[in-house]
A and B are shown apart, each in its own frame.
Chain A
């Protein structure tokens, strides 16, 4: 395989739970309009949440924000949210698939399910990010991303509204960047442009 090609990052996955709405508002509103990777997000929500969550962020974000559709092709510069009450997975042909399998870590969508399937597809070209949350979903997935040669970022627990999810991720594997919320976008942008943080 071409080494030069593999050096570049192809996608960002983000997992966030309790405290997520504020954290995501901050992250998504500071993403540059020319950001070159797709961003795929699992946010834990109540199963009966309305389907219009992405609308909440669309106004403040310069990139297109939408709910991921089944079989939809993943496009650069687009922000995707897992639909409430479905697991979101990535297929080899860079399309999304959905599943109503039982909740994982009491969650559907589950961060681990997205991270593990994205890692299978993107391998070393994947950036995984775990933000605020009150459980441990995402820890296993982030470890898998790291084991697959990908890059991992965790919100500094001291700056997280709910620190347990970042703390658990840090305990589960060696994290490349543990940074405050306000620095996460600049790290991702730099990685997406140069391949190094």
Chain B
């Protein structure tokens, strides 16, 4: 038997789902950030956390705050970008880059690496250290991108908690590092400041995987633990974006629990190191690949601009109509 409590709980759940959709729609229309195709369970957790922290009772209460309180929105945006990362996270991945991928890159005249969803930059400095040690850094350009400006600013600063350095040192050593890790940063109070030289060849830039376009001719794309937050459809769009941004024989590196094998672009990539989720772009004839669905790339700012133009045009038409009416009456 279904008692009242169950009914209420079903009802509550249904309402919450509606409220979440409205909230995400409001964010998209107002700011152009598109979370509508994010996996819902984890999104819901973060929404509920922000709601509780702000002393709000319902998710729909957040819509007002998001629209009218820019500071609130910025805080919420930071919640929505998962900024949990570490240097040389999954050491075996970096060890594989060092032992297997680097030799493939050595012959190239110039190396372009895209760290997509670089968050607060720990992975950027890890990659810079690795490339420096492999004597490839001078001919490399690293593009470090994230949709969160707050995260990007932290990445640019390159200042981390001194407490975390012990763990990062251990990761570095497991990733095949043989230098003294502490040579890569200076300490001040309880902070570790990464050496300036490590960001010499890094371009930090704001890029949204959901709404922004191709980032050209990369030799390596690293995007780890970002796609797990997207639904299947959005994952496919991003895989397409990566495919179009990679040059021939380019490498795509995903998180340990992510795979391209369930995507419709699976055939466009071969396993390079299967257990580390390192793929290599395979050249196949263009006919087999669908054109990019253009509408997916319309971002909120374009929509806002066009709606302003349309409402201006309507206003002008109205003015014109009333002018015609006056002229007619005068006659």
A interface, CB within 8 angstroms of B? 1, 3, 6-7, 69-71, 83, 86-87, 89-92, 97-102, 113, 116-117, 120-121, 123-124, 147-149
What CA separation (Å) do A148 and B16 show in the bound complex?
14
Looking across the interface, which residue of chain A has its beta carbon closest to that of B9? A148
Nearest B residue to A102, CB-CB = B84
**B228 on interface, CB distance cutoff 8 Å:** yes
Q: Are B44 and A99 in contact (CB under 8 A)?
A: no
* Chain A neighbourhood of B10, CB < 8 A: 1, 123
In contact, A101 and B40 (Cβ under 8 angstroms): no
CB-CB < 8 A to A117: which residues of B? 41-42, 44-45
CB distance A124 to B9 under 8 Å?
yes
A7 touches B1 (CB 8 A): yes
Task: Looking at the assembled complex, report how far the CB atom of A173 sits from the nearest CB atom of chain B, in whole angstroms.
Answer: 13
Contacts of B84 in A (CB 8 A): 100-102
Cβ contacts under 8 Å, B3 to chain A: 149
Q: How many cross-chain pairs have Cβ atoms below 8 Å apart between A and B?
A: 81
Contact A98 B257 (CB under 8 A): yes
Closest Cβ neighbor of A2 among chain B residues = B2
Chain A residues with CB under 8 A of B229: 97, 99
Closest to B229 in A: A99
Flag if A120 contacts B13 (CB, 8 Å).
yes
By beta carbon, the residue of chain B nearest A3 is B2
B286, CB-defined interface residue at 8 Å: no
| Cβ B6 vs Cβ A97 within 8 A | no
B257 touches A124 (CB 8 A): no
Are A69 and B39 neighbours in the complex by a CB distance under 8 Å? no
A142 to chain B, nearest CB (A): 15
A123: chain B residues at CB < 8 Å are 6, 9-10, 13
Q: Do residues A70 and B44 form an inter-chain contact, with CB atoms below 8 A? A: no
**Residue in A7, A83, A87, A121 whose CB lies within 8 Å of B42:** A87
User: Within residues 231 to 247 of chain B, which ones have a CB less than 8 A from any CB in chain A?
Assistant: 232
Asked if B42 and A86 sit within 8 Å, CB to CB, the answer is no
What residues of chain B lie closer than 8 Å to A147, measured between beta carbons?
5, 9
Report A-chain residues with C-beta under 8 Å of the C-beta of B17.
Answer: 92
Chain B residues with CB under 8 A of A92? 17, 40
Contact, CB under 8 Å: B13 / A98: no
